[in-house]
Amino acid sequence: MTATLIEGKPIALDIRAEVAAKVALFQAKLGRAPGLTVVLVGEDPASQVYVRNKGVLTREAGMVSDEIKLPADTAQSDLLALLGKLNADPLVDGILVQMPLPPHIDSQAVVAAIDPAKDVDGLHPVNAGYLAQGIEALVPCTPKGCMIMLERIKAQVPKAEVAGASALVIGRSILVGRPMGALLLSANATVTMAHSRSRDLPALCAEADIVVAAVGKPEMVRGEWLKRGAVVIDVGINRIAKEDGKTKLVGDVHFASAVEVASAITPVPGGVGLMTTACLLQNTLDAACARARIKL
Ligand code: NDP
């Protein structure tokens, strides 16, 4: 068996086109475009690339993108004061503080200082609380993207139907694993959450119709662990060394063995990663519409 590939690019392109069309309607109704402000503290090279990329795609969708770059030694109080100003700015619909923050800044305090209505990363405790209660709110972008992938692939791969499925989420981070589990539960899956203290991961995988791996351990989940026909969503992005001294990106799932057992699988790169920014644009539009009390 060779699994169907769940590629992120066509789905992400569709979402971005849908967002751009609705942004034009928003502009026509309100005389302005939705605005996203991304705050970057320090000079982490990977974060700089992410922020630049988010800016390009935001503008491509017709939205206003503002990037605020602060030095690595910015005091926490100054960052909180900036967030206060952005919260009060009527032209700012979405605020995203790029993680990780320098170690002297308490990232929880920073996330909690963002107006939940502008929290396009969906990490504010209010939004996390809504999600835990199964109430629609701003949802973290990566798990939102995974749910959209499952939804889109199910016409082709019926085993991707979430309702009634046994779903295993490996990883329980606030950014990915926990919200993923909550979304799957809201969509009527029977959800098992695994983490570093779980006793027998292969046995848990063997029971799962849907496996979502969000661990940060290169190629940890082996094809031999999977139930035949499982649907595999690989969130992991890990850079490893190749024999020729160069590097390559791999997921948390050992793709070559998993593709022989699964009925559908996301590739790395080219899978979930592309969905995250598309969902950020979607969240920014949703936040703008909710703040303007309009439905498009
Ligand atoms: P975290 O490091 O925050 O969380 C990792 C989770 O994996 C923890 O819950 C940890 O358990 C669990 N874990 C670690 N080792 C094991 C193990 N041996 N068996 C089972 N569980 C284990 O990572 P993130 O959730 O932020 O990210 C996970 C991966 O997803 C990374 O590769 C990251 O790069 C990628 N990522 C990709 C995105 C995308 O857009 N595609 C976006 C965000 C992340 P415990 O809680 O017990 O420590």
Instruction: Kindly tell me if the per-residue pLDDT of 164 is higher than 80.
Output: yes
Q: Which of 288, 291, 290 is nearest to 63 (CA)?
A: 288
How many domains does one find in the chain? 2
**Do residues 99 and 160 share a domain?**
no
pLDDT digits (tens, 9 = 90+) for 59-108: 999 999 999 999 999 999 999 999 999 999 999 999 999 999 999 999 99
Rg (CA), the chain: 19
Asked if 161 contacts 151 with a C-beta cutoff of 8 angstroms, the reply is: no
Q: What is the pLDDT of residue 238?
A: 96
Look at residue 135 and tell me if it is in a domain: no
Number of Cβ within a 10 Å radius of residue 244: 7
Residues 95 and 166 in one domain: no
- Among 7, 50, 237, 272, the mutation site with the greatest number of ligand 1 atoms within 8 A of its Cβ is 237
Q: Would you say residue 25 lies in a domain?
A: no
Give pLDDT tens digits for 100-141.
Answer: 999 999 999 999 999 999 999 999 999 999 999 999 899 999
Check whether residue 160 and residue 269 sit in a common domain.
Answer: yes
Query: What pLDDT score was predicted for residue 143?
Result: 98
Residues 106 and 216 both lie in one domain = no
Q: What is the mean pLDDT of residues 8-35?
A: 98
Instruction: Tokens for 105, please give them.
Output: 């800044």
Report whether 288 contacts 282 (CB < 8 A).
no
Q: For residue 1, what pLDDT band results from cuts at 50, 70 and 90?
A: low
Q: Can you give the residue range of the structural domain that contains 158?
A: 141-273
> How many CB atoms neighbour CB 151 within 10 A?
14
**Average pLDDT of the segment spanning 174-178:** 97
| pTM of the complete model | 0.97
* Inside any domain, residue 283: no
What's the pLDDT at 249?
A: 96
166 and 110 in a single domain? The answer is: no
87 and 146 fall within a common domain: no
Residue 229 and residue 173 in one domain: yes
Q: What CATH number does the domain containing 76 carry?
A: 3.40.50.10860
Mean pLDDT of 218-239: 98
User: To the nearest whole number, what is the mean pLDDT of the chain?
Assistant: 97
Q: Which CATH number does the domain housing residue 167 bear?
A: 3.40.50.720
> In sequence order, which ranges of the chain are alpha helices (DSSP H)?
8-30, 45-60, 76-88, 107-112, 125-132, 141-153, 177-186, 201-206, 255-258, 272-292
**Section 241-260 average pLDDT:** 96
Ligand 1: centre distance to CA 84 (Å): 31
CA-closest residue to ligand 1 atom 19: 196
CA-nearest residue, atom 6 of ligand 1: 171
Which residues participate in catalysis according to the annotation?
54, 98, 121
Q: Which residues line ligand 1 (CB under 6 A)?
A: 142, 170-173, 175-177, 194-198, 201, 214-217, 235-238, 252, 272-273, 276
79 in a structural domain? yes
* The predicted structure's pLDDT at residue 88: 98
The reply to whether 279 falls in a domain is no
pLDDT of residue 165: 98
| Positive/negative CA dihedral, 150, 269, 215, 46 | negative
3-class DSSP assignment, residue 220: coil
Query: Coil, helix or strand for 20?
Result: helix
CA of 65 to the centre of ligand 1 (A): 29
**pLDDT tens profile 268-284:** 999 999 999 999 999 99
